[in-house]
Copies of this chain bind each other. A is one copy, B any other.
């Protein structure tokens, strides 16, 4: 579908003309997905709109900071379908796939965004979708209540890793300053979002660290996540988020490898590098990705896979 690129101003006008608005976002929703959806929902309700945000899957416990007390409006058929933080309708959860061809507007910040909606508000330079939502809310002349500020903060803080990731901008800090003055209790929010690890996460980490292996004089670090470990610890998806970043985050590690056992018995490999071309290395095993973060899927025993990967990496480290 060919889409029309729109500005925050146009997005605001379009939303103000709608009545019953269904708000979609991607599956396994993160803080920016839910935060963006609930922020625009709450702004639209100020304007007398009926809104319904749908999401699926188990959410990490910190989401209760913004989802608690959320009640969807009841309407039969939406007259407007808005998607937020959604780069591709393939990423919709199963329950909302039926709307994939009917999305009226998408508000998103992913550079990988494909055209699927009638109108698209895309700001690929934004660190999070929530900061674009704020622009639309301001154009709709919404009151940025503490409740809305809370939703925006969750999106902003999670997508920037609490202002740590490389995508963090001066504008993000200015927005954060504004959100604090609007009443966000950032001490409480940060503690719940970043200060707490689930028991399952700690249990998987202790197993993963116990089995951590180093080679090439500490320049290669390998961790392994088996299905048995996931079952023992009862991890849900959000519990193992970012686990592949552990090896590379160790001083002196040039290549961090994560082996994760799949249901079909294969092993999903994630490779993070400091200077080597991760995509090139993974392409040797039928995979690909980015220069510093790539992946592939391998069959065989973990030992065989590790030997093959280490050989390929060692060769390049020696060059």
A191-205 vs B, Cβ < 8 Å mask (1 yes, 0 no): 100111111001001
Q: How far is the CB of A201 from chain B (nearest CB, A)?
A: 8
Query: Chain B CB within 10 Å — which of A163, A171, A209 has the most?
Result: A163
| Interface residue? A187 (CB, 8 A) | yes
A164/B177 in contact, CB under 8 A: no
Which A175-211 residues sit within 8 Å CB-CB of chain B?
Answer: 176-178, 180-181, 186-187, 190-191, 194-199, 202, 205-206, 209-210
| Interface residue? A113 (CB, 8 A) | no
A186–B127 Cα distance when bound, in Å, is 14
B198/A251 in contact, CB under 8 A: yes
| Interface residue? A61 (CB, 8 A) | yes
A206/B212 in contact, CB under 8 A: yes
Closest Cβ neighbor of A174 among chain B residues: B177
Closest Cβ neighbor of A184 among chain B residues: B170
Closest Cβ neighbor of A252 among chain B residues: B199
| Interface residue? A316 (CB, 8 A) | no
- Contacts A199-B252, A206-B210, A250-B202; is A176 near B164 (CB within 8 Å)? no
A218/B191 in contact, CB under 8 A: no
Residues of B within 8 A of A210 (CB): 206, 209-210
Residues of B within 8 A of A191 (CB): 166
| Interface residue? A266 (CB, 8 A) | no
Q: How far is the CB of A8 from chain B (nearest CB, A)?
A: 21
Closest Cβ neighbor of A194 among chain B residues: B164
A61–B251 Cα distance when bound, in Å, is 9
| Interface residue? A249 (CB, 8 A) | yes
28 A-B pairs whose Cβ atoms sit less than 8 Å apart in the complex: A61-B251, A162-B163, A163-B176, A163-B190, A164-B195, A165-B187, A165-B190, A166-B186, A166-B187, A168-B186, A169-B180, A170-B176, A170-B177, A170-B180, A171-B177, A173-B173, A173-B176, A173-B180, A174-B174, A174-B177, A195-B249, A197-B251, A199-B250, A199-B252, A202-B209, A202-B212, A206-B210, A210-B210
Given contacts A166-B186, A199-B250, 19 further A-B contacts (CB under 8 A): A61-B251, A162-B162, A163-B163, A163-B186, A163-B190, A164-B194, A164-B195, A168-B180, A168-B187, A170-B176, A170-B178, A173-B176, A196-B249, A196-B250, A197-B251, A202-B212, A205-B209, A206-B209, A206-B212
Q: Which 10 A-B pairs have the closest CB atoms?
A: A166-B187, A173-B177, A206-B209, A170-B180, A173-B176, A170-B177, A173-B173, A164-B190, A163-B163, A174-B177
